[in-house]
Amino acid sequence: MPNMNPKKCPMPEQAPDVRNKNFEEVTLGYTAEMAIEEAQRCLNCKNKPCMTGCPVQVKIPEFISLVAEGKFLEAAAKIKETSALPAVCGRVCPQESQCECHCVRGIKGEPVAIGRLERFVADYARENSTEKAVKPESNGHKVAIVGAGPAGLTCAGDLARMGYEVTVFEALHTAGGVLVYGIPEFRLPKAIVANEVEKLKAQGVTVMTDMVIGKVLSIDELFEELGFKAVFVGSGAGLPMFMHIPGEALKGVCSANEYLTRINLMKAYKEEYDTPILHSKAAAIVGGGNVAMDAARCAKRMGAEKVYIVYRRGEAEMPARLEEQHHAKEEGIEFMTLTNPVEILGGEDGRVNGMKCIKMELGEPDASGRRRPIPVEGSEFVLDLDCVIAAIGTSPNPLIRHTTPGLDTNRKGCIVADDEHGITSKDGVFAGGDAVTGAATVILAMGAGKRAAAAMDEYIKNKNK
Ligand code: FAD
Ligand code: SF4
């Protein structure tokens, strides 16, 4: 008999006024008892509607049935059949708009907490499994991966399991992409990402950090001088956009990417690190996505008394996950929606001391289908601030496209690749993740890496027929 409680089993978490002063994980995870109770809410639907919302087709009802029976390691193995990074996805995937929004339990109550169960199972397996990763026998072919984010790591793992000799070239000093330099520790502990990278290494994947492809080596050199048979480009979309308003060059203005990289990758929040960072008293984060929420929550934890989210549309249009919006508000972040910055103001010392904003109203839908924000005449006002963080989007870094002849990109600077296989205009070069789609999600990047791995295998086999 299923558990017919209309509500999800609640997730234990740190109290808001405690967690907004530390960088430890906000949500604490289910216990085994909570996981079983929640798994018993699943109806094990024959037509598996939840699976239709999962970009990597995790066998959701099957793994949840195993959790309900207390078979946690078997449940982990079931998820691993299709998903390479379940401990990451269980924490950061937007389940509310993917698997959980298709769950039939959501019709008369809350959907089954699929994400929380995935996280529980992955954490349980990491802590309790004694299974050792094995290095498959080599098939003698070398493949290269550019970028160690979720797209590159997933592609690397799949190719390694097929017997390829895989080398991942990563520009930064640590592998993980946005998972380590963007998403903060309090949402995704870095030890979890490091553990996944170590597992890949145990399967024979070589990870070379501090290797900027396009500077140290070009993609052509990977083929011609190093003998790689195919290359996957998963270089992400790490180039921040700016607002192009007066005052953007003042001290105290930065991109969310730079702010988060200093805090996460360069550990500016730890006293023993000497990474320079602005300890703001009042900060405005411009934007309404996950990146804006992360930057705002970091600014609060770095000691800011006032932190504003300044967003030109309404709350209903905000692209950030609902959970992130909810957590940010609980932590004391003030949402100033229907508000747009006009000018950043500075003192004689060249530092930010305010931001002139204008109120907005929503007009007809624009090309993106969202209602267009229109300035309300005469509604300007000034916010007192000492820091402005731009979180209004990113695009791919132009280095790869400038150094790779024959690789087509579109007007947004994204690599043109087919969605099914990641095939690009250049022979032997495949691509996926944010480098192709522009800033998107972890699970979509993983799905693209997976599909490209299968296509690269086929490509190399055909070449060697
Ligand atoms: P990335 O993760 O960007 O990895 C690309 C890697 O390539 C990087 O490590 C980069 O250093 C490396 N690289 C770039 N150029 C080169 C080069 N020339 N040579 C070698 N290496 C190179 N998604 C969610 O699903 N849920 C969330 O909650 C969420 N929150 C986010 C919060 C923040 C702050 C940010 C920035 C993004 C967030 N996202 C979230 C989006 C998600 O993280 C990305 O969509 C995803 O990481 C894309 O994966 P990727 O592998 O394509 O690229
Ligand atoms: Fe279980 Fe919901 Fe999926 Fe049905 S839709 S199998 S109840 S998780």
Give the pLDDT band of residue 365 (cuts 50, 70, 90): confident
Rounded mean pLDDT, 18-44: 97
The confidence score (pLDDT) of residue 465 equals 79
Residues 299-353 pLDDT 10s: 999 999 999 999 999 998 999 988 899 999 999 999 999 999 999 999 999 999 9
Give the pairing type, strands 371-375 and 352-365.
antiparallel
Substitution candidate for ligand 1 out of 96, 172, 173, 183 with most atoms within 8 A of CB: 183
Q: Residue 41 has which token pair? A: 């809410």
Residues 227-276 pLDDT 10s: 999 999 999 999 999 999 999 999 999 999 999 999 999 999 998 999 99
Residues 3-18 pLDDT 10s: 999 999 999 999 999 9
Average model confidence (pLDDT) across the chain: 95
Instruction: Report which ligand 2 atom has the smallest distance to the Cα of 43.
Output: 7
Distance of CA 225 to the CA centre of its chain: 33
Sign of the four-CA dihedral 29, 34, 40, 43: negative
Beta carbons of 416 and 408 less than 8 angstroms apart: yes
The confidence score (pLDDT) of residue 220 equals 98
The confidence score (pLDDT) of residue 369 equals 82
Using CB distances shorter than 6 Å, the residues near ligand 1 are: 92-93, 146-152, 169-172, 177-178, 182-183, 211-214, 234-236, 238, 260, 290-291, 294, 321, 397, 399-400, 433-435, 439-443, 445
Rounded mean pLDDT, 139-166: 96
Q: How far apart are CA 320 and CA 326, in angstroms?
A: 10
Rounded mean pLDDT, 273-283: 93
Strand partners, 13: 27
Residue 427 exposed, middle or buried by CB count within 10 Å (0-12, 13-18, 19+): exposed
Give the pLDDT band of residue 34 (cuts 50, 70, 90): very high
Span from the CA of 59 to the centroid of ligand 2 (angstroms): 11
Ligand located closest to 104 CA:
2
The confidence score (pLDDT) of residue 17 equals 95
